[in-house]
Amino acid sequence: MKSCCDEHHLLPIEDALAQMKTRVSSVTHIERIGLTQALDRVLAHDLIAQFNVPAQANSAMDGYAIHLDDTHALPKSLRLIGSALAGHPFDSEVVPGTCIRIMTGAPIPAGANCVVMQENVDVINAGDRQFIKLNQHPRPLENIRQRGEDIAEGDVVIAKGKRLNPLDIGLIASLGMAEVDVFRRLRIAVLSTGDELIPPGEALPSGSIYDSNRYSIIALLQRLHVEVIDVGLIPDQPDTLRNAFIDAAEQADAVISTGGVSVGDADYVKDVLGELGQINFWKVAIKPGKPFAFGQLGQSYFFGLPGNPVSAMVTLHQLALPILRHMAGEYIPPSITFTVKAESAIKKRIGRTEYQRGRLTNSEGNLYVNTTGAQGSGVMTSFSDANCYIVLECEQGSVDAHDLVNILPFDRFIQ
Ligand code: AMP
Ligand code: MG
């Protein structure tokens, strides 16, 4: 079946992503690092539990460990014969008719098969002896965390390719590992092109604008935990661009440029890329961000983003980022979209998938979304005010107020 994208010779986003993914290779070099350095690094092997967690059955409550016999008969009173604390086990046996005081986390002693909460007993002092009286009928195994209940020896605890978050780091520590094997970080070179661009911090001559894309791109890459090589600002001159590309490609796994990628008179990126390496230039069926170049420069991969600031960030986030994550060895969990009501009407032309910037709001339990005002590809405030994309499919037309639309919440790379 012919899709609406074919009519306009635009490449569907999924096809662009699939083509790039088959072309790139992922890093293979592995390094062993300390756990305190492991946040946001990509795990290089399946992490296998070498023992059970918990290693021993232990108490989930402060109370009394007792031996509940088969008949579950409730003895009148149980003699207190000792105590167990976390780190201080009771070394003897709890036989029928006896009990020990036990604290949360303490190992369950031999003979005990139930922990009774302290709130459910009365303590009776009889000379130098103490007894407890149960107020309720306990159940076998009550309040006991079983050995291996959390993790069984041999389990894959974290799969290869996971980008490690704080919870993963704690899990690895709980398995006794002080170091972890991760893939080496990607090296990514970033450059802006355009004669009109001035670095922030300098005076702005008339007709110029500040180079903002290089900063937003580098900031997003910092979230990806890569090594960034800032190549700087390159004028619209083929020779300078050529030298900058060669230099960047020699140092980096990927080169990201912004600007000069459409078909204007000063747009040299794709010509120079075609001359130096392999090029796939696409008009991708995405709005904002139609012109996008992908290719190879020696051993390095190249992503040519458009110059308009919103387009640059949408194409970086939706087209380049998934490929960079794949190159980093990362397994990418499917993104979660959901459907909510649009509060007001949204204009949309058939032919491209639109990533409008939206604000998702919860009003008394009802979710709804609104666009964040003017959606022009140069209007960065529409992006920074947003917390989600409103994804309007290629074939879809305008949306009426109260129609359902698909929402893609911002992930941690841009939020
Ligand atoms: P281009 O893709 O080079 O035709 O640029 C499209 C628009 O984006 C023009 O208005 C440029 O001035 C602007 N632009 C290009 N590069 C940048 C940048 N690095 N930062 C901010 N705006 C830019
Ligand atoms: Mg330009």
Query: pLDDT for 317-342, tens place per residue?
Result: 999 999 999 999 999 999 999 999 99
CB 262 within 8 A of CB 292: no
> Using a 6 Å cutoff on CB, does residue 309 contact ligand 1?
yes
257 lines ligand 1 (CB under 6 A): no
Q: Among 197, 216, 231, 292, say which to mutate for ligand 1: greatest number of ligand atoms within 8 Å of CB.
A: 197
From ligand 1's centre to the CA of 201, what distance in Å? 18
- Is the model's pLDDT at 4 over the cut of 80? no
Arithmetic mean of pLDDT over the chain: 93
Indicate the pairing of strand 197-198 with strand 209-210.
parallel
Q: How many CB atoms lie within 10 A of CB 73?
A: 9
DSSP character for 259? S
Euclidean distance between CA atoms 270 and 292, whole angstroms = 9
Per-residue model confidence (pLDDT) at position 309: 95
Ligand nearest to the CA of 261: 1
What is the value of pTM for the model shown?
A: 0.90
The whole-number pLDDT of residue 262 equals 86
Give residue-wise pLDDT tens across range 281-301: 888 999 998 899 999 999 999
- pLDDT category of residue 373 using cuts at 50, 70 and 90: confident
Name 120's Cβ contacts closer than 8 Å, sequence gap at least 6.
63, 134, 135, 136, 138
Does residue 270's CB lie within 6 angstroms of at least one atom of ligand 1?
A: no
Q: Average the pLDDT over each of 46-50, 76-80, 141-145, 184-188 and give the range with the smallest value.
A: 76-80
- Which domains, ranges and CATH numbers included, belong to the chain? 4-29+184-327 (3.40.980.10), 30-51+154-183 (3.90.105.10), 58-145 (2.170.190.11), 338-409 (2.40.340.10)
Provide the pLDDT for residue 153.
Answer: 94
pLDDT of residue 74: 63
CA of 144 to the centre of ligand 1 (A): 63
Provide the pLDDT for residue 76: 67
pLDDT score of 77? 86
Q: Where are the alpha helices (DSSP H) in 109-158?
A: none
Residue 1 pLDDT greater than 80, yes or no: no
Query: Ligand nearest 235 Cα, by number?
Result: 2
Q: Is the distance from CB of 68 to CB of 114 less than 8 angstroms?
A: yes
Tell me the residue length of the chain.
415
